[in-house]
Structure 1
Amino acid sequence: MKILFSPSETKIGGGDIKCIDKNSFIFPELFEKRLEILEKYNNYLKNASNNDLEKLFGTKKIEVIEKYKQDIFKSPIMKAIQRYEGVAYDYLNYNSLEVSAQKYIDENTLIFSNIFGVIKADDKIPDYKLKQGESFENLKIDKFYSDNFSQTLDNYLLDEDILDLRAGFYEKFYTIKKPYLTMKFIKEGKVVSHFAKAYRGEILKLLALKNIKTFEQLLNLQIENLSIVEIKEQKLKKEIVYTIG
């Protein structure tokens, strides 16, 4: 089973004093394509005004702007799954997991970054900042990665069950071409959004702890405080609707 996951706008600094290269990422044969975006991003950081960077980063804090306008090709790198923090990643709590669960996440989780494109959980990335939905030089980054990576992803996922836990924004980076599962969380009759991030993190952790490999195993999984109330099917998508509480 492969789990498709979202990144987070907040990240942890630091890492190994190394530079990114083609061995930092899944699909090294497509590294030159990633470089097209990364080099444009890096050049934009060097030449953009502070007003432009405020928009790009989604902040007016000078210290944050100064931090993130640095050369990403010279920045320390660490596992993507440890780089990101935020609600989903806090609930996942990767660093607290046993080695076998961490290995499951490393090998089976694909994160859709708005600057690096699709990456594996254990790919090594630098600290960076790009507000969700923002771009630079009129680039359509989601379309670029969809156009250049989709065929390779199709082949990679061909024999896998797929659980799509991405936020809707990141679906534009890759359209799934085979049957897959998604999840929706409802409390008191209303779809939750903020706490959906928490449950995505909790579910990824539970999948790793239980070594879930198939749809059948997932559907039989007992999840604390969640009950399946409905399973909706629409074309390739099967949506599991959970009620909270």
Structure 2
Amino acid sequence: MLILLPPSEGKQPAENGAPFDAETLQFAELNPYRHQLLSALAEVSSSENALELLGVGKSLVAEVVRNIGLHTEPAAAAHTVYTGVLYEALGYERLDAEARRRADASILVISALWGAVGFADRIPAYRLSMSVNLPAIGKLASWWKPKLTPSLNARAGDELVIDCRSSTYAAAWVPPVETTVTVSVFQLRGGVRKVVSHFAKHTRGEFAAHLLTRKQEVRTAEELLVAARERWDAELVTGTAKKSHQLNIILPEDHAFRAVGS
């Protein structure tokens, strides 16, 4: 089981600790590309039009400035750096030891800066979206795709890939369609299925936590459907030779967030 997550746009900086060590990150073969991006990002973040180039507002100046010295910034495990609706719903800190072990082993975060990192990989907080067109690099999803594909295809092997990424990050790597299930979330509105972004993120986080805490690990698309139906109304759309399977989770009209920790 391999669970793919997008990063959060907002990130929680480590208060103290050693800087990141690229040699300790998963997929060490990506390190030359990571260092190339770190240099390009520092240069862009030092420029007068950094905010425009990175597609952020004035309120994020401090985060952009942090990009200049990421080699010396304190680093922390990715699961503490990435924050937001999905990560709060997943609740790594609320998982028991076995579920945390599973999370560290089975979750990959697809990143504009790092390419892909494991949940326990130590990284600094940074500001860079996969949608950015970085000078001298280009569109990051297109730039990363040929570099990520060999490494991530090898990592996926014949495991079931559970794809919870947003479309921006999904463009950076297309997993083997025959063993991949894309997770989509809808809410009924007037009897019609609608995509509601905050509900979708929250539910994907809950779903990931559900998979990590089950006694039986899922190995097939059909087993994934069974797992989803333990808590939600769900259906499986069988894939094709060119398209992965799709798991649709359908939330009721009166759906609301559950309290964190409930």
Q: Same fold (TM over 0.5)?
A: yes
After TM superposition, the structure 1 = structure 2 runs for residues 156-171 of structure 1, keeping only pairs within 5 Å, are 156-171=155-170
Structure 1 counterpart of 2:200, from 185, 196, 205 = 196
Using a 3 Å threshold, how does the CA distance of structure 1 residues 162 and 233 change in structure 2: closer, same or farther?
same
- Where does residue 175 of structure 1 map in the other structure? 174
Which amino acid is 1:29 matched to? E
Residue 209 in 1 paired to residue 209 in 2? no
Residue 37 in 1 paired to residue 40 in 2? no
Q: Distance in 2 between matches of 1:94 and 1:170?
A: 22
Using a 3 Å threshold, how does the CA distance of structure 1 residues 164 and 60 change in structure 2: closer, same or farther?
same
- Please give the per-residue CA displacement for 1:62-109, whole angstroms capped at 9, x wherever unaligned: 753565344011001011111111110111111111111111111101
- Equivalent residue pairs, number: 243
What's the CA shift for 1:28? Answer: 1.2
Q: Distance in 2 between matches of 1:183 and 1:62?
A: 31
Percent of aligned positions with the same letter in both sequences? 23
What's the CA shift for 1:26? Answer: 0.7
- Where does residue 95 of structure 1 map in the other structure? 93
Which moved further from structure 2: 13-22 or 178-187?
Answer: 13-22
- Where does residue 237 of structure 1 map in the other structure? 244
After TM superposition, the structure 1 = structure 2 runs for residues 1-245 of structure 1, keeping only pairs within 5 Å, are 1-46=1-46, 48-49=47-48, 51-56=49-54, 58-61=56-59, 64=62, 67-131=65-129, 133-140=131-138, 141-179=140-178, 180-188=180-188, 189-194=192-197, 195-211=199-215, 212-215=217-220, 216-223=222-229, 226-235=232-241, 236-245=243-252
Q: Distance in 1 between matches of 2:124 and 2:151?
A: 24
- Please give the per-residue CA displacement for 1:180-222, whole angstroms capped at 9, x wherever unaligned: 1112222222232311100110001001111523124322215
User: 3-state SS of the aligned residue for 1:176?
Assistant: coil
Q: Distance in 2 between matches of 1:24 and 1:193?
A: 37
What's the CA shift for 1:110? Answer: 0.8
Runs of 5+ consecutive residues of structure 2 not aligned to the other structure: 253-262
Higher relative contact order (CA 8 A, sep 6+): 1
> Cα RMSD (Å) of the superposition?
2.1
Judge conservation of contact 2:177–2:239 (CA < 8 Å) in 1.
Answer: no
What's the CA shift for 1:119? Answer: 1.2
Using a 3 Å threshold, how does the CA distance of structure 1 residues 171 and 111 change in structure 2: closer, same or farther?
same
What's the CA shift for 1:25? Answer: 1.3
Q: Distance in 2 between matches of 1:156 and 1:175?
A: 13
Which amino acid is 1:237 matched to? S
What's the CA shift for 1:16? Answer: 4.8
Runs of 5+ consecutive residues of structure 1 not aligned to the other structure: none
